[in-house]
Amino acid sequence: MDTLSHFAHDGRLAQVDVGAKDITARPALAQGRVSASASVITALKDNKVAKGDAFTAARLAGIMAAKRTAETIPLCHQIDLDRVDIEISIEDASTITLTARAQAHGRTGVEMEALCAVSAACLTIYDMCKSMDKSMTIGPIMLLEKSGGKSGPYKRT
């Protein structure tokens, strides 16, 4: 078990010690999709969702989720984020794409913060529109890219 980073030498779960790592810029980009009926996509596009401005609510939910990632995901470090942004685009008559960018200067990456942000943003779209279409689907949610740290850059191809 010594090769697994979240296990101590005796097999217990343990948070990774990042104290000796260099502080570097740590950006990450994650993406998620919400598929819904054409009427939901139209209501979102025209800002006619009965509960209010779904895109603003989703952006806020994503930012808040990123800031609280360490409270949600066991063993994540508390990270002082420099920035979190959520972009929302309507891809076609049935799909919305949400992209979360998280950035920090620290000793560990912000992949989980970006993934939590985009997950919460997608869930908020679902919550805001569920009265119109309970058959909406969320996913896939994925890491698109990250850089910084000893593992180096990653970019989904």
Enzyme catalytic residues: 127
Token pair 């919550």: residue: 127
Question: Of 32, 37, 50, 56, which is closest to residue 144 (Cα–Cα)?
Answer: 32
- Across 59-95, b (16+ Cβ under 10 Å) vs e yields bebbbebbbebbeeeeebbebebeebbbebeeeeebe
Query: Could you write out the DSSP letters of every residue in 46-112?
Result: TT--TTS-HHHHHHHHHHHHHHTHHHHSTTPPP--EEEEEEEEEEEETTEEEEEEEEEEEESS--HH
